[in-house]
């Protein structure tokens, strides 16, 4: 089973158990970035997570957005990079930029 398969299977399982679940996927990268396009992170309504979209740099911010999206149901496209104040705060120190799509599993 591939990494993505494992993350999506787990997300589906959480959802079947009645938990709120959001999925985050790296959709674009520029320059050096820690995780390739297609990398995934699943988050449940308690903030539990499986997978990774950045090797730790922006996960905190992504989880926060994911929890919002579990409530609102409205997908969001996030962008992090060194030129970005928020990214600096959350510490994307590798110098790259990433776009991460976050959606609710419904």
Task: Note the residues at the interface with other proteins (CB under 8 A).
Answer: 2, 4-5, 8-9, 11-12, 15-16, 23, 25, 27-28, 37-38, 74-75, 77, 99, 101, 103-106
* CB closer to other proteins out of 16 and 83: 16
* CB closer to other proteins out of 97 and 104: 104
Q: Scanning the structure block, which residue is given the tokens 């609102």?
A: 72
Q: How would you write 56-87 as a 3-class SS string? A: CCCHHHHHHHHHHHHHHCCCEEEEEECCCHHH
Rounded CA-CA distance 61/74 in Å is 17
Minimum CB separation of residue 8 from other proteins in Å reads: 6
């Amino acid at each position: 089973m591939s990494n993505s398969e494992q993350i999506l299977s787990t997300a589906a399982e959480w959802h079947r158990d009645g938990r709120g679940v959001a999925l985050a996927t790296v959709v674009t990268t520029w320059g050096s970035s820690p995780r390739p396009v297609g990398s995934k992170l699943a988050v449940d309504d308690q903030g539990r997570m499986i997978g990774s979209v950045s090797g730790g740099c922006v996960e905190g911010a992504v989880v926060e957005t994911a929890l919002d999206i579990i409530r609102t149901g409205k997908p969001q496209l996030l962008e992090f990079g060194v030129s970005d104040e928020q990214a600096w705060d959350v510490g994307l120190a590798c110098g790259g930029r990433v776009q991460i799509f976050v959606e609710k599993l419904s």
